[in-house]
Amino acid sequence: MTKLSVNINKVATLRNARGGNVPDVLKVAQDCEEFGADGITVHPRPDERHIRRSDVYALRPLLRTEFNIEGYPSDDFIDLVLKVKPHQVTLVPDSPTQLTSNAGWDTKANLSFLSEVLDGFNQAGIRTSVFVSTDPEMIEYAAKAGADRVELYTEPYASSYAKGREAAVAPFVEAGKVARSLGLGLNAGHDLNLENLHYFYQNIPWLDEVSIGHALICDALYLGLQRTIQEYKNCLR
């Protein structure tokens, strides 16, 4: 069954907007687990505009499900991940100033860099995932670099879904087949929501995990967190 990892960055954004500790990021993460989430994702950025490094350290001993830390592999990020030792690290090619992830890695051009970084994480026993587009060559070079999984960047699917879902999902199905043929695990994330997630899952049922934050937290404002998590889980059945 495809796992649902809840990205709690937006909860931290809300907390940071006012100062203090409301909402409590640690409690929300634990509540997500209690309500059925299979994992928690965080994306600490250098400016700590949402998740802080202190949050990452505090979350690790509290979580009972899988902990996924994503980010650009700067020296500080690598040090954080190696100290915390989450279940999974997801490498994204974001610059420090980016608002959100908006592209996958050029794994061919960055093969040497990614190979070195991934080797360090693999030696530490941390499962590795690399954020990529649907380009088969990018997936192939992620495998060459030593990744355990790839995470497909799904914003193009989400933005095209309303125009024609068959055409929107087609390149992702092919990318998923390429990943599977190379022995890579398969994750997906970015702009997946209650409208488009089930169709994506129906067409790629061998997905290992989806990581969803912004849409899920927005839905929780209307539906409540517990019901929202169950609705997303229902999309993966």
Catalytic residues: 43, 70, 190
**Cα–Cα–Cα angle for 40, 224, 70, rounded to 5 degrees:** 20
Specify whether the CB–CB gap between 159 and 191 falls below 8 A.
yes
* Residue 227 CB neighbour total at 10 angstroms: 13
Residue environment code for 118-149, b if the CB has 16+ CB neighbours within 10 A, otherwise e: beebeeeebbbbbbbbbbbebbbbbbebbbbb
Phi, psi of 106 (to 5 degrees): -85, 90
